[in-house]
Amino acid sequence: MIVLPDRVSLDAAAARSFAAAAAFRASEPYRGLEDLFAEVAVERAISTLLRDHDWVGALIAPLIAALAEDPWFEPPFRVARDGLRIGTVLFESAAVSIAATVLSADALAHLPPPRTVVIPGRVTVTRYVRAGNARLRRWEAEPMLADFSATTAKPCAPLPDLRLGDGDVVRSDGRTQGHVIADATSDVVTLSATLRAQTIPYAREYAIDSGALVRVATNDDRAARTQMLLAYLRLAGRRGSEACFAAATRDPAFFLRWAAMREWLASDARAALPRLREMAGGDPNAEVRAAANATLALVEQRLAA
């Protein structure tokens, strides 16, 4: 029978967790990582770290000890878990995010073969601490430039597979490449470093059998939040919001530019019309230009009436 703690006990456990998190980020191993990425070029620093994995033990040893002493202790990590893998972010800075992941070979063996591959939009360097003799199936897609269009996207193409061994370090340019892991005979344990400065705003998913583009999603949390806030401004009827809508129609993220224009038109079509004309004539993205042109005539007709 599990006896749940009372509120006082939970509050005390939370206080201990906060104190341990502060001590963790002030610890010598963590500060050493901060100093490394502050003083050394990012890819060189990642190469230094991924030569081995002994530093991970030193980094998390105090947290393991705290968890052993306190079953209600909460480590200061972001954790992601699904039916195939569990992963946690060990270190984050403006330049890099480092995560440890364990992929279950048993779960992988019971899954049907993947039907799609994701081009994640992120450059990663991965050390396969335990490779499980897995095979890395790889694909390549065209660069996602400013004039990228889903309707005219070229299919992705397969690249040669890689057979992974313990200790292998693989750099993957996820702006144009994607992969899936197959045929693992034991669990796959990885340390992955993501280069944040080289991340593009979009991830793409392609069908493996045909190579055709299936969908595009955003990697840009900032743009997604801005889209939500613009919808709030329109629904709230906030006066003086024209500058916010106008600025967002010039955002690097093409999906945000058009979302901002839609919200602006719904809020004040007359004020938005000059910028709509500019987008119809010269937006860098063909799909945005097409949408602006299709909308322009309707807006002009309604305003004239």
Contacts of 155 (CB under 8 A, 6+ apart): 206, 210, 211, 212, 213
pLDDT in tens, 242-252: 889 999 999 98
Paired tokens of 152: 């005219």
Cα–Cα distance measured from residue 211 to residue 122, given in angstroms and rounded to the nearest whole number: 20
Per-residue confidence (pLDDT) for residue 69, from 0 to 100: 87
Assess contact for 37 and 95: CB atoms under 8 A: yes
Query: Burial of 82 by CB count in 10 Å (0-12 exposed, 13-18 middle, 19+ buried)?
Result: exposed
pLDDT in tens, 268-300: 999 999 999 999 999 998 889 999 999 998 999
Name the residue type at position 270.
Answer: R
* pTM of the predicted model as reported, rounded to 2 decimal places: 0.79
Most confident of 45-49, 101-105, 216-220: 101-105
Cα–Cα distance measured from residue 133 to residue 145, given in angstroms and rounded to the nearest whole number: 36
Assess contact for 78 and 88: CB atoms under 8 A: yes
Sheet with 177-182: strands ordered across: 157-163, 135-140, 177-182
